[in-house]
Structure 1
Amino acid sequence: TYAKIFELLLRLKANTIWPAMHDCTKAFYYYNDNPRIADDYAIVIGTSHAEPMLRNNVFEWDTKKMGEYNYFTNRDSVYKYWETRVKESKNYECIYTLGMRGIHDSKMLGSSSIDETTGMLEKIINDQRIILSANISKNIKEIPQAITLYKEVLDIYNNGLKVPDDVTIIWPDDNYGYIAMLPNNEEQKRTGGSGIYYHASYWGRPHDYLWLSTTHPLLIFEEMKKAYEMKTDKIWILNVGDIKPVEYIMTLFLDMAYNINNFLNEQSVINHLSNFYSDIFGIETGKIVSEVYQKYYSLAYERRPEFMGWSQTEPLTDTRLTAFNNFLYGDEAQKRIDNYDNIEKTIINIAQNITIDKHDAFYQLVYYPIVCASLMNKKFLYFDKAVRYANQNRICAIDLWNKSYQSFNNIKIETEYYNNKMSGGKWKYMMSMNPRNLNVFKEPKIINFDKNQKKWDCIAEGYNNCDSAYNLPIFYAHDTSQYFIDLFLTDSIDISWSALVTETWINVSENIGVLRPVANENQKRLWVKIDHSKIKNDLINKGYIYIKANGKEKKITVTLDNSIKKELNGFNGFIEKNGYISIYASNYNRLINSEKRFWEKFEGLGRTGSIMIAKPNNYETKDKSDTNFAETPVIEYDFYTFSDSVFDIYINCIPFHPVTGRNEAKLAISIDDKIPQIINLRTYGRSEEWKQNVLENRAAKRIPIEGIKKGKHILKIYMIDPGVAIDYILINTGGLKNLYSIIPETKYYN
């Protein structure tokens, strides 16, 4: 029975459940004791969007005996099927799901158009309410009923579906944590009220995330706080998938549902995270775990572990190399490896001091998810490096492939411990390292590698292939950047090397060393920085680094541009560097809000860790002018270009959907006094654009700009619709290369 689940729900202050619906389990009502035990625990039973009238279609509908699950052609059989369950459940507390979809998570059968579906759904809802009225001794308006506008049902609703006023409308997210739509000001007046159906786990396209719990707590807070503000407070349902991986997120969601007023701001969520782990493991350990988890959620927000294969489902595709750049922007892939390695090592160290009575709890709640998320990332990122370095004949490619395979094998070892050794095997079968056996969970492929005759080589940051000479990215006045040079063996021999600089202002992390054909010694990364104290002129300065080894020499040019000092005298803002400008949205120069509308900073979310959201949420823009910019809130950023150019602006936002059906997801952008260009971040259905948005947790738009002269300019971002959230802006003046992560801001302050 569900007795243990019901007890857990009460402990978490929850009072309703949608029982499991997949074919790996029997239907809730198959067990006669389940409804009685639910009543004992005062748990209200409902069913999912695809299971009207408390019926589990996957288990209970027998097509051979009952015919097709089709209301157009088999109404009587379906009607009887629903009526039977109502008679069985009428004496218990229930919420009856209205409407009809396919047997499982699919569209209704029998319709050839959305208009036909809309009309039939209204008839079905009417029939269902007749069944309820005939069998339950209450006024129909007093019988709890709900319809979930999930997937195509939201389109049907927007097509004009009439829902009785006393029926609760449950608004869905898009399966990836972004609420698809909320009630507008008129819909908020309905007597049935509104609810939310939200995912902490998902099976489906573009890719499942069933293994680890990685939905950012601050995303959940932002979306559920918004839902509450929009009077969506009647029913909150969380799709947990499996309970074990999502224990914290489940607790957070239900605590917010019980009293959202305990969560006043972003810090309230961080405090909740810290308190959760401090209550279990003590204040000192809880604080460290909370800090690690904040980094864990931020890393997963950039890309979930289950999405690291760059593969998809429905249709199933093979894994690919990741989009992290290994050769520029400080080596995005290595930065991610290092970030995961740091939190993994922190947790492994803490585990040594956990008392025996708390060890298993620590392993389940902390150690397994954090360590395995790290290992999954290492599996793919080391494999990436192995393939890319093999193309450069680096013998370290074999070592990196071994690290990739070892990461895969360590996930197996940890999962084996979770299921068979931890707590004496109490949680056997509760954790799978390969849900649905998708390609992302498979062991790394074998790579091809050939040595060459060069014996050694080197490559500078910004280059994918080896060459005889290189130019490092340009350094600028007041610049604290550093760039790398990789030295590596291409054959199994010992080689001594040296790095000589021609100018005292060039600093190299190491000047001499030996490469040996053993793991961790067959390549060396040198970091190059500028000592600005040793050069006082306002010129473009050049110097050189000569890498010498085994009778060969490579020349790397280092450029320091101090000439910008005079030009930028008194300028504070963002400047062009190496062909691009990087701006974090919350670091604006000026913010101009209006009396009723405003840009609000939200801390902790996004790639930059701080985003700007258009508020208030209940401002409806339908039928209002998009072009009245004189009184529109605007964010302004000062920036400086060093040449006349045609360039592209890339605005990177959080992939929120329009707040209501009376909104879009628009904003406008202009440079200086040019006419603002309107862009709409809205996506439709499960389009390719939406798929990329949810896989990356980013909605990016490109805006081409022409006729910009060298010098100072102002980027203006105008508010149009509420709910639009800006993370960062990139301006490509000709030098921006492929990247996945954020890059440091190109700030300049006198």
Structure 2
Amino acid sequence: MMKLKPLRTAILAACTSLAVLPAAHAVEVTEIARSGPGSLNLVGGAGVAAVAVDAHDDPLVGVAARLFADDVERVTGRRPVIGAKAVRGRPLIVAGTLGHNGLIDELAARGRLKDLDKVRGRWEATVSQMVERPFPGVERAFVIVGSDRRGAAYGLTQLSERIGVSPWYWWADAPVRRRTALAIRSGTPEATAPEVKYRGIFVNDEDWGMHAWAKQTFEPEAGGIGPKTYEKIFELMLRLRLNTIWPAMHEVSREFHAVRENVVLADKYGIVAGASHCEPMLYNNVKWNQKTRGPWNYLTNRDAIYKTWEEQATTRGGMEGMWTLGIRGIHDQGMQTPPGDMPGKLKLMGDVIRDQRSLIQRHVTTKWGPVAQAFVPYKEVLPIYDAGLALPDDVTLVWTDDNFGYIRRLSSPDERKRAGGAGVYWHLSYYGGPHSYLWINSTAPALLWEELHKAWDNDARTMWMLNVGDLKPMEIGVDYFARFAWSPTAFGPDSQPAFLRSFAAEHVGDALAPAVADLLTEFYRLGTIRKPELMVRAWALSLPREEAAELGRSYARLLEQEATLAAKVPADRRDAYVEMIGFPARVLGATGAIFMADRAARLGDDPAAQAAEIARQRAFLEREVDAYNHTVANGKWKGMMPGLVTADNLMAWNSQVRWPWGEPAGGGAPVARPVDEGRVWRAAADADRQSALGGARWTPVAGLGRTGRAVALTPAGLESSWAVTDDKAPALAFDVLAAAPGAGGDVLIDFMPTFRIYPGRKLRVGVSVDDGAPLVVDVPGSSGQEDESGAIRREGVQNNVVRARVAMPALAAGPHVVTIRAIDPGVVIDRVALPAPAPSR
């Protein structure tokens, strides 16, 4: 069943309404000025509405009011007046925090506001409603009541989107459609509140894009990313209802927390300023000078490090923050302790956290409630935690993915009782082994849904952080994440198609939305098969002949499809289209074409023609990168897009792509017939029959996997656990036909490389033939004992598949049934190859 609420549906022809909401919502914005109960003319009729905010309210409410007034002016050319009082004879919008806005409190005291129980005492909650004759001389007011400063601000920024201003109007040059009149219509009060408490982004690995752009183009006076850039980031986050940031932290950047204006701006925009897993106590230790301050080693240099943390607590303690606890080495390196000394590491980590907590207790305000504290067991810290670290109960455990989108572990039943709850740190971009992917975002929203809905089902609900790299061109992934994190229960396994079509309609127009959604669907499918940054000659040569041929055709079709679509995009939407849609599709299609041509040349298929194709696609990509930096948006993004080479050694793991022209002579895998050449594959979603019990079932996830319909066991929580021999467990049944006695062979199962839910559990399915006893099959590499440098996961995360080979018994001639039954939650099956072809139907 479709669960995703439409984000911004098509304009209704009858009333040309903008950003029409689902029927369950109570607020609608139209461009037709209306009068009468339930309708307020924002622009038109009596003029322009006034916006009333209280000077005694949090300054964020005033910031949101000014942004809203800017947006009304962008759309209509007319600007609302912002003040503290109702204006006679003028339509009125009142926005503020309950208990901190005089007009709202007056209406509440007079019983004129409904559903205030839906905001009182809640986190970031909003209730919006129309009030008739609220004050003398005012016919009607639209009142936005927030439970806190962000709740009030979100009510205004959401209204901005409904009048037609995309959150990406600046960061992706999304056009604003001009209107002459705007009206708000409201029925019953509309109440909203987030389901995940802290929802944020990590600006990371900024060396290649955002830093270069800020330094060259946008903020040269700061020498890179500074307050001017952060203010634009914070505005975007406010519009997307993201409330937490881990700021840029590479050596090229000035330390965020050392620039007071950065911190002040974060507070101004209501952003909870935190720090990543290797920046304890809001301090980026990449700036630590070991020559003058001693080693970054708490065991031998405690006083110097403690003093630095104390300075952070005293200078930052008065503002809302998310305090990262624990310690790692300098800039993402391991903690400096004697190797192999786990008892020593446990003691040291315990001492560190006790000292940090003491500083927080003494210096950090509780104005915003209990102080938010996070512990991120990333890389070498996870074994220390698993060895028995006694972590204070109110600290949020932030679990991590494996850097490629697959969550390593979630909380055990005992850990789920913790007051601090749990969260997830997840990557759309990554710098590290086995290879970085920093150029474009080819991670399907469907994978984000599958893994984060699993986190939700397993009670990781307090904090979701997304590594967005340079932010551009990650716009679609960031937008999906922001909306999903706000309301995970509103997004179902079929959310990707609806989201893509809605996003396309908003940014490219209704007429082209279906074609754009189709293009993006294929883009993400091909990106699942292999990200451009992860392509390499050895991969291309390892492909079965038929698969390589089909991939080559698919890359060519993607480029043709995109070129046809680009020619139809209206001029005023072209920049937004190129930045968010066109450029990523061109990169993926052309890069894939280069590697397929190189494969063909290596196999002796007209090397001269293939070399010409490689040269053509390379020149195409170079032109596209140059255009992104110098032509798109009149050169606004100069420096944001790195070129085809980012390292002298094209084979270095930190280059964007391991281009075939950088391969050493004779490089690449030996030319050999792949072991599974010629196998007939079926999508798991195409099982001949499926059984389910209650709400548990194998559920196709739209857009997931190389088939675009991989099936996940849902729900993904512990309730979806089954005994090995339970014949009532959710099952996929496939018909096979043995042509002769003794036929048989292996069943191949392509799983997505997910992990078991938590240590002590496994990730398994049962496979049986006819009524035979099931064979227990573990998802390869799912135990959590192997990191991404191990062979199974190294290839699995790059291919988004791990393959299990299941030996089947010899079959009698005739029809048979191969059944795959659920055992453990978290399994995702993409496709299967059966030992005999299915009967024709």
1:144 correspondence with 2:372: yes
Contact 2:427 2:468 in 1 (8 A): yes
Cα distance, 1:307 vs. partner?
1.3
From 808, 814, 818, give the equivalent of 1:705. Answer: 808
Deviates more, 1:117-126 or 1:300-309: 117-126
From 588, 606, 615, give the equivalent of 1:405. Answer: 615
Cα distance, 1:625 vs. partner?
8.7
From 643, 651, 662, give the equivalent of 1:433. Answer: 643
Q: Matched residue of 2:247: which SS?
A: coil
Contact 1:141 1:166 in 2 (8 A): no
Cα distance, 1:407 vs. partner?
1.0
Hey, what does 2:263 align to over in structure 1?
35
Cα distance, 1:430 vs. partner?
0.1
Hey, what does 1:121 align to over in structure 2?
349
Hey, what does 2:26 align to over in structure 1?
none
Cα distance, 1:607 vs. partner?
2.1
Residues of 2 paired with 1:122 and 1:614: CA distance?
38
Paired residue type of 1:238: L
**Structure 2 counterparts to residues 43-442 of structure 1, below 5 A:** 43-59=271-287, 61-113=288-340, 114-136=342-364, 138=366, 142-263=370-491, 265-309=492-536, 321-326=540-545, 329=546, 332-390=547-605, 396-434=606-644, 436-437=646-647, 438-439=650-651, 440-442=657-659
Hey, what does 1:748 align to over in structure 2?
839
Residues of 2 paired with 1:691 and 1:447: CA distance?
22
Residues of 2 paired with 1:630 and 1:426: CA distance?
61
Cα distance, 1:662 vs. partner?
4.9
Judged with a 3 Å threshold, the aligned counterparts in structure 2 of structure 1 residues 334 and 187 are, in CA distance, closer, same or farther, namely same
The two structures, once aligned, show a CA RMSD in angstroms of: 2.7
Cα distance, 1:214 vs. partner?
0.4
Contact 2:716 2:825 in 1 (8 A): yes
Contact 1:73 1:110 in 2 (8 A): no
**Structure 2 counterparts to residues 563-602 of structure 1, below 5 A:** 582-595=681-694, 597-602=696-701
Residues of 2 paired with 1:297 and 1:164: CA distance?
41
Judged with a 3 Å threshold, the aligned counterparts in structure 2 of structure 1 residues 22 and 602 are, in CA distance, closer, same or farther, namely same
Hey, what does 2:709 align to over in structure 1?
610
C-alpha distance after superposition, 1:3-55 (max 9, x if no partner): 11111111211111000111121110232211111111111100000111001
C-alpha distance after superposition, 1:469-527 (max 9, x if no partner): xxxxxxxxxxxxxxxxxxxxxxxxxxxxxxxxxxxxxxxxxxxxxxxxxxxxxxxxxxx
Residues of 2 paired with 1:627 and 1:38: CA distance?
52
Cα distance, 1:279 vs. partner?
1.0
Cα distance, 1:730 vs. partner?
1.5
Judged with a 3 Å threshold, the aligned counterparts in structure 2 of structure 1 residues 601 and 464 are, in CA distance, closer, same or farther, namely closer
Paired residue type of 2:394: D
Hey, what does 2:199 align to over in structure 1?
none
Residues of 2 paired with 1:191 and 1:673: CA distance?
47
**Sequence identity, in percent?**
31
Hey, what does 1:560 align to over in structure 2?
none
Residues of 2 paired with 1:230 and 1:448: CA distance?
50
Cα distance, 1:612 vs. partner?
2.8
Judged with a 3 Å threshold, the aligned counterparts in structure 2 of structure 1 residues 602 and 269 are, in CA distance, closer, same or farther, namely closer
Judged with a 3 Å threshold, the aligned counterparts in structure 2 of structure 1 residues 34 and 304 are, in CA distance, closer, same or farther, namely same
**Structure 2 counterparts to residues 447-486 of structure 1, below 5 A:** none
From 772, 796, 811, give the equivalent of 1:674. Answer: 772
Q: Matched residue of 1:117: which SS?
A: helix
Residues of 1 paired with 2:459 and 2:665: CA distance?
58
Contact 1:434 1:441 in 2 (8 A): no
Q: Matched residue of 1:171: which SS?
A: strand
Q: How many residues are treated as equivalent by the alignment?
A: 593
Residues of 2 paired with 1:578 and 1:347: CA distance?
31
Residues of 2 paired with 1:595 and 1:361: CA distance?
45
Contact 2:444 2:703 in 1 (8 A): no
Residues of 2 paired with 1:357 and 1:667: CA distance?
52
Cα distance, 1:323 vs. partner?
2.2
Cα distance, 1:149 vs. partner?
2.0
Q: Matched residue of 1:212: which SS?
A: coil
Contact 1:590 1:637 in 2 (8 A): yes
Hey, what does 1:511 align to over in structure 2?
none
Contact 1:433 1:441 in 2 (8 A): no
Hey, what does 1:7 align to over in structure 2?
235
Q: Matched residue of 1:607: which SS?
A: coil
Residues of 2 paired with 1:340 and 1:625: CA distance?
41
C-alpha distance after superposition, 1:111-141 (max 9, x if no partner): 3333432332122111110111222355999
Hey, what does 2:736 align to over in structure 1?
639
Paired residue type of 2:557: N
TM-score norm. by structure 2 comes to 0.67
Residues of 1 paired with 2:727 and 2:635: CA distance?
66
Residues of 2 paired with 1:6 and 1:603: CA distance?
32
Paired residue type of 2:511: E
Q: Matched residue of 2:242: which SS?
A: coil
Residues of 2 paired with 1:174 and 1:640: CA distance?
40
Paired residue type of 1:90: G
Hey, what does 1:685 align to over in structure 2?
787
1:724 correspondence with 2:827: yes
Q: Matched residue of 1:174: which SS?
A: coil
Residues of 2 paired with 1:58 and 1:446: CA distance?
33
Q: Matched residue of 1:125: which SS?
A: helix
Residues of 1 paired with 2:390 and 2:368: CA distance?
17
Paired residue type of 1:78: I
Deviates more, 1:676-685 or 1:208-217: 676-685
Residues of 1 paired with 2:371 and 2:677: CA distance?
66
Cα distance, 1:374 vs. partner?
0.7
Contact 1:211 1:434 in 2 (8 A): no
Residues of 2 paired with 1:260 and 1:269: CA distance?
13
Q: Matched residue of 1:702: which SS?
A: strand
Deviates more, 1:13-22 or 1:415-424: 415-424
Contact 1:133 1:140 in 2 (8 A): no
Cα distance, 1:674 vs. partner?
3.4
Query: Gaps (5+ residues) in structure 2?
Result: 1-226, 652-656
Query: Gaps (5+ residues) in structure 1?
Result: 311-318, 391-395, 450-462, 466-576, 734-745
Contact 2:691 2:731 in 1 (8 A): yes
**Structure 2 counterparts to residues 518-557 of structure 1, below 5 A:** none
Cα distance, 1:631 vs. partner?
4.5
1:25 correspondence with 2:253: yes
Judged with a 3 Å threshold, the aligned counterparts in structure 2 of structure 1 residues 356 and 278 are, in CA distance, closer, same or farther, namely same
Cα distance, 1:646 vs. partner?
5.8
Deviates more, 1:610-619 or 1:214-223: 610-619
Paired residue type of 2:746: D
Cα distance, 1:715 vs. partner?
1.4
Residues of 2 paired with 1:589 and 1:422: CA distance?
49
Q: Matched residue of 1:191: which SS?
A: coil
Contact 2:496 2:703 in 1 (8 A): no
Paired residue type of 2:754: F
Structure number having the greater strand percentage: 1
Judged with a 3 Å threshold, the aligned counterparts in structure 2 of structure 1 residues 31 and 464 are, in CA distance, closer, same or farther, namely closer
Q: Matched residue of 2:474: which SS?
A: helix
Cα distance, 1:302 vs. partner?
0.9
Residues of 2 paired with 1:464 and 1:69: CA distance?
50
Residues of 2 paired with 1:446 and 1:87: CA distance?
53
Cα distance, 1:195 vs. partner?
1.4
Contact 1:133 1:139 in 2 (8 A): no
